[in-house]
Protein backbone atom coordinates (compact mmCIF):
# COMPACT_ATOMS: atom_id res chain seq x y z
CA UNK A 1 0.00 0.00 0.00
CA UNK A 2 1.31 3.44 -0.92
CA UNK A 3 1.94 5.81 1.96
CA UNK A 4 -0.15 8.53 0.32
CA UNK A 5 -2.85 7.64 -2.20
CA UNK A 6 -4.91 9.98 -4.29
CA UNK A 7 -7.92 9.69 -6.56
CA UNK A 8 -6.89 8.55 -9.99
CA UNK A 9 -7.33 11.23 -12.65
CA UNK A 10 -7.75 12.97 -14.88
CA UNK A 11 -10.76 15.00 -13.77
CA UNK A 12 -12.34 16.84 -16.68
CA UNK A 13 -14.85 19.47 -15.55
CA UNK A 14 -16.57 22.51 -17.09
CA UNK A 15 -15.84 26.02 -15.90
CA UNK A 16 -17.84 26.89 -12.81
CA UNK A 17 -18.06 23.30 -11.58
CA UNK A 18 -17.25 22.18 -8.07
CA UNK A 19 -14.67 19.42 -7.87
CA UNK A 20 -13.37 17.42 -4.91
CA UNK A 21 -10.11 15.53 -4.54
CA UNK A 22 -9.57 12.84 -1.94
CA UNK A 23 -6.40 11.53 -0.39
CA UNK A 24 -5.64 8.84 2.18
CA UNK A 25 -2.45 8.30 4.13
CA UNK A 26 -1.22 5.18 5.88
CA UNK A 27 1.01 6.50 8.67
CA UNK A 28 -1.11 7.35 11.68
CA UNK A 29 1.80 9.33 13.14
CA UNK A 30 1.61 11.87 10.30
CA UNK A 31 1.74 15.33 11.73
CA UNK A 32 1.09 17.92 9.06
CA UNK A 33 -0.62 17.97 5.72
CA UNK A 34 -0.52 20.06 2.58
CA UNK A 35 -1.96 20.45 -0.89
CA UNK A 36 0.47 21.51 -3.60
CA UNK A 37 -0.33 22.45 -7.17
CA UNK A 38 1.98 21.51 -10.05
CA UNK A 39 1.61 22.90 -13.55
CA UNK A 40 2.93 20.94 -16.50
CA UNK A 41 6.74 20.78 -16.46
CA UNK A 42 6.95 23.18 -13.52
CA UNK A 43 7.80 22.87 -9.85
CA UNK A 44 5.14 22.17 -7.21
CA UNK A 45 3.80 25.25 -5.46
CA UNK A 46 2.14 25.28 -2.07
CA UNK A 47 -1.60 25.72 -2.40
CA UNK A 48 -2.54 25.43 1.25
CA UNK A 49 -1.73 23.73 4.50
CA UNK A 50 -4.47 21.54 5.95
CA UNK A 51 -5.45 22.12 9.57
CA UNK A 52 -7.35 19.79 11.87
CA UNK A 53 -10.33 22.12 12.01
CA UNK A 54 -10.45 22.47 8.25
CA UNK A 55 -9.56 25.66 6.44
CA UNK A 56 -10.66 27.75 3.52
CA UNK A 57 -8.82 30.06 1.15
CA UNK A 58 -11.13 31.72 -1.31
CA UNK A 59 -12.59 29.04 -3.57
CA UNK A 60 -10.48 26.30 -1.98
CA UNK A 61 -11.47 24.32 1.12
CA UNK A 62 -9.32 21.66 2.75
CA UNK A 63 -10.50 19.11 5.29
CA UNK A 64 -8.64 16.63 7.47
CA UNK A 65 -10.08 13.56 9.16
CA UNK A 66 -7.38 12.06 11.38
CA UNK A 67 -9.52 9.14 12.51
CA UNK A 68 -10.02 8.00 8.92
CA UNK A 69 -6.59 9.24 7.78
CA UNK A 70 -8.24 11.15 5.00
CA UNK A 71 -7.65 14.58 3.46
CA UNK A 72 -9.79 16.39 0.92
CA UNK A 73 -9.61 19.45 -1.28
CA UNK A 74 -12.72 21.14 -2.63
CA UNK A 75 -12.53 23.67 -5.45
CA UNK A 76 -15.64 25.75 -6.06
CA UNK A 77 -16.44 27.73 -9.20
CA UNK A 78 -13.59 26.17 -11.20
CA UNK A 79 -11.57 28.44 -13.46
CA UNK A 80 -9.60 27.51 -16.57
CA UNK A 81 -6.48 28.53 -14.63
CA UNK A 82 -7.17 25.82 -12.03
CA UNK A 83 -6.07 23.20 -14.59
CA UNK A 84 -3.03 21.51 -13.05
CA UNK A 85 -2.00 18.45 -11.07
CA UNK A 86 -2.86 18.57 -7.38
CA UNK A 87 -0.49 16.82 -4.99
CA UNK A 88 -1.49 15.58 -1.57
CA UNK A 89 1.48 15.81 0.77
CA UNK A 90 2.00 14.43 4.26
CA UNK A 91 4.74 15.24 6.77
CA UNK A 92 5.41 12.27 9.03
CA UNK A 93 8.02 14.07 11.09
CA UNK A 94 7.84 17.77 11.81
CA UNK A 95 11.41 17.73 13.07
CA UNK A 96 13.02 16.13 10.05
CA UNK A 97 10.57 17.66 7.65
CA UNK A 98 10.35 14.56 5.48
CA UNK A 99 7.41 14.94 3.12
CA UNK A 100 5.63 12.06 1.43
CA UNK A 101 3.98 12.97 -1.86
CA UNK A 102 1.00 11.38 -3.52
CA UNK A 103 1.30 10.79 -7.24
CA UNK A 104 -1.10 13.64 -7.94
CA UNK A 105 -4.51 14.08 -9.51
CA UNK A 106 -4.76 15.90 -12.81
CA UNK A 107 -7.52 18.46 -13.23
CA UNK A 108 -8.57 19.85 -16.58
CA UNK A 109 -11.13 22.67 -16.58
CA UNK A 110 -12.81 23.19 -19.94
CA UNK A 111 -14.67 26.26 -21.27
CA UNK B 1 14.39 38.76 -4.95
CA UNK B 2 14.06 36.01 -2.36
CA UNK B 3 13.77 32.47 -3.59
CA UNK B 4 15.32 29.21 -4.64
CA UNK B 5 17.34 28.94 -7.81
CA UNK B 6 18.44 25.81 -9.63
CA UNK B 7 20.84 25.53 -12.51
CA UNK B 8 21.07 24.52 -15.19
CA UNK B 9 17.48 24.21 -16.41
CA UNK B 10 18.49 21.34 -18.72
CA UNK B 11 21.52 19.09 -18.34
CA UNK B 12 22.81 16.35 -20.60
CA UNK B 13 24.93 13.56 -19.21
CA UNK B 14 27.09 11.14 -21.10
CA UNK B 15 27.44 7.54 -20.00
CA UNK B 16 29.89 7.19 -17.10
CA UNK B 17 29.94 10.90 -16.35
CA UNK B 18 29.31 12.59 -13.01
CA UNK B 19 27.23 15.78 -13.14
CA UNK B 20 26.42 18.32 -10.45
CA UNK B 21 23.13 20.17 -10.10
CA UNK B 22 23.16 23.48 -8.31
CA UNK B 23 20.62 24.67 -5.73
CA UNK B 24 20.85 28.03 -3.95
CA UNK B 25 18.40 29.75 -1.61
CA UNK B 26 18.39 33.18 -0.01
CA UNK B 27 15.38 32.57 2.22
CA UNK B 28 17.54 31.86 5.28
CA UNK B 29 16.00 28.40 5.54
CA UNK B 30 17.85 25.83 7.60
CA UNK B 31 16.56 22.75 5.81
CA UNK B 32 17.09 21.82 2.18
CA UNK B 33 15.94 18.81 0.15
CA UNK B 34 16.48 17.07 -3.18
CA UNK B 35 13.71 15.18 -4.94
CA UNK B 36 13.44 13.26 -8.15
CA UNK B 37 10.24 13.16 -10.23
CA UNK B 38 9.64 10.67 -13.02
CA UNK B 39 6.77 11.05 -15.53
CA UNK B 40 3.40 10.28 -13.96
CA UNK B 41 4.91 9.66 -10.56
CA UNK B 42 5.13 11.47 -7.26
CA UNK B 43 8.26 13.09 -5.91
CA UNK B 44 10.80 10.83 -4.23
CA UNK B 45 13.30 12.10 -1.67
CA UNK B 46 16.98 11.66 -2.52
CA UNK B 47 18.79 13.53 0.29
CA UNK B 48 17.98 16.19 2.83
CA UNK B 49 19.89 18.47 5.17
CA UNK B 50 18.58 20.15 8.27
CA UNK B 51 21.72 22.09 9.09
CA UNK B 52 25.07 23.04 7.59
CA UNK B 53 27.61 20.19 7.40
CA UNK B 54 24.95 17.56 8.03
CA UNK B 55 22.71 15.59 5.67
CA UNK B 56 20.71 12.37 5.60
CA UNK B 57 19.81 9.86 2.93
CA UNK B 58 16.28 9.82 1.64
CA UNK B 59 14.46 6.94 0.01
CA UNK B 60 16.53 6.72 -3.18
CA UNK B 61 20.04 7.96 -2.30
CA UNK B 62 21.99 5.30 -4.20
CA UNK B 63 24.01 6.81 -7.04
CA UNK B 64 23.77 10.35 -5.66
CA UNK B 65 25.90 12.49 -3.35
CA UNK B 66 25.44 15.89 -1.71
CA UNK B 67 27.30 18.46 0.35
CA UNK B 68 26.11 21.26 2.63
CA UNK B 69 29.08 23.53 3.25
CA UNK B 70 27.00 26.70 3.30
CA UNK B 71 23.48 27.37 4.51
CA UNK B 72 22.50 28.80 1.14
CA UNK B 73 23.76 25.96 -1.04
CA UNK B 74 22.96 22.25 -1.41
CA UNK B 75 24.46 20.83 -4.62
CA UNK B 76 23.54 17.35 -5.83
CA UNK B 77 25.97 15.15 -7.77
CA UNK B 78 24.54 12.43 -9.96
CA UNK B 79 27.29 9.84 -10.20
CA UNK B 80 27.93 7.22 -12.84
CA UNK B 81 26.57 4.66 -10.35
CA UNK B 82 23.07 6.03 -10.95
CA UNK B 83 21.95 3.84 -13.84
CA UNK B 84 18.71 5.58 -14.66
CA UNK B 85 19.31 9.28 -14.04
CA UNK B 86 16.89 10.75 -16.59
CA UNK B 87 14.33 12.66 -14.51
CA UNK B 88 13.17 16.05 -13.28
CA UNK B 89 15.21 17.06 -10.20
CA UNK B 90 13.66 19.43 -7.71
CA UNK B 91 15.35 21.20 -4.83
CA UNK B 92 13.36 22.57 -1.91
CA UNK B 93 14.00 24.48 1.27
CA UNK B 94 11.87 24.64 4.37
CA UNK B 95 10.68 26.90 7.09
CA UNK B 96 8.81 25.83 10.18
CA UNK B 97 5.35 27.34 10.48
CA UNK B 98 1.97 26.70 12.04
CA UNK B 99 1.33 23.86 9.63
CA UNK B 100 4.66 22.15 10.25
CA UNK B 101 7.60 22.39 7.90
CA UNK B 102 6.45 24.08 4.71
CA UNK B 103 8.69 23.34 1.74
CA UNK B 104 9.22 25.70 -1.19
CA UNK B 105 10.61 24.44 -4.47
CA UNK B 106 13.06 25.72 -7.03
CA UNK B 107 12.20 25.60 -10.75
CA UNK B 108 13.92 22.25 -11.28
CA UNK B 109 16.58 20.75 -13.53
CA UNK B 110 15.78 18.25 -16.26
CA UNK B 111 18.57 15.70 -16.66
CA UNK B 112 18.82 13.68 -19.84
CA UNK B 113 21.25 10.92 -20.65
CA UNK B 114 22.84 11.02 -24.10
User: Taking the C-alpha atoms of A49, A54, A57 and A58 in order, what is their torsion angle to the nearest 10 degrees?
Assistant: 150
Q: Which residues of B14-86 form beta strands (DSSP E)?
A: 19-25, 31-37, 43-51, 54-57, 64-66, 76-78
Chain B residues closer than 8 Å to A86 by CB = none
Across the interface, of B43, B96, B98, the residue whose CB is closest to A101 is B43
Intra-chain end-to-end CA distance of chain A, in Å? 37
Chunked into runs of 10 residues, chain B (114 residues) has average pLDDT values of 88 90 95 92 91 93 97 96 92 77 92 88
The pLDDT of residue B97 is: 65
pLDDT in tens, A48-79: 999 888 899 999 999 999 999 999 999 999 99
In whole angstroms, give the CA distance from residue B75 to residue B78. Answer: 10
pLDDT at A94 over 60: no
Across the interface, of A50, A91, A101, the residue whose CB is closest to B101 is A91
In whole angstroms, give the CA distance from residue A70 to residue B110. Answer: 33
Contact B75, B21 (CB under 8 A): yes
Cβ separation of B99 and A51 shorter than 8 Å?
yes
In whole angstroms, give the CA distance from residue B72 to residue B27. Answer: 8
**DSSP state at residue B73:** B
Contact B106, B42 (CB under 8 A): no
Q: Which residues of A1-111 form beta strands (DSSP E)?
A: 4-6, 11-14, 19-25, 32-38, 44-50, 55-57, 60-65, 70-75, 84-91, 99-101, 105-110
Contact B54, B113 (CB under 8 A): no
Chain B residues closer than 8 Å to A103 by CB = 40-42
pLDDT in tens, A8-48: 789 999 999 999 999 999 988 888 899 999 999 899 999 99
Q: Which of B38, B12, B60, B37 is nearest to B106 (CA)?
A: B37
Chain A residues closer than 8 Å to B107 by CB = 42-43
Interacting residues of B31 by C-beta distance below 8 A, sequence separation 6+: A97, B48, B49, B50, B51, B93, B94, B101
Across the interface, of B41, B56, B102, the residue whose CB is closest to A49 is B102
Q: Which of A57, A50, A63, A81 is nearest to A20 (CA)?
A: A63
Amino acid sequence: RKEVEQDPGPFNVPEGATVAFNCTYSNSASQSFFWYRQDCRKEPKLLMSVYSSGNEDGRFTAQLNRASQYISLLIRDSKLSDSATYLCVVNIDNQGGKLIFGQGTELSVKP
Amino acid sequence: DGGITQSPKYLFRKEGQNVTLSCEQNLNHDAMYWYRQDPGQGLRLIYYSQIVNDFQKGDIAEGYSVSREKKESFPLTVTSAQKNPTAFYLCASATVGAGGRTQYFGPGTRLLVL
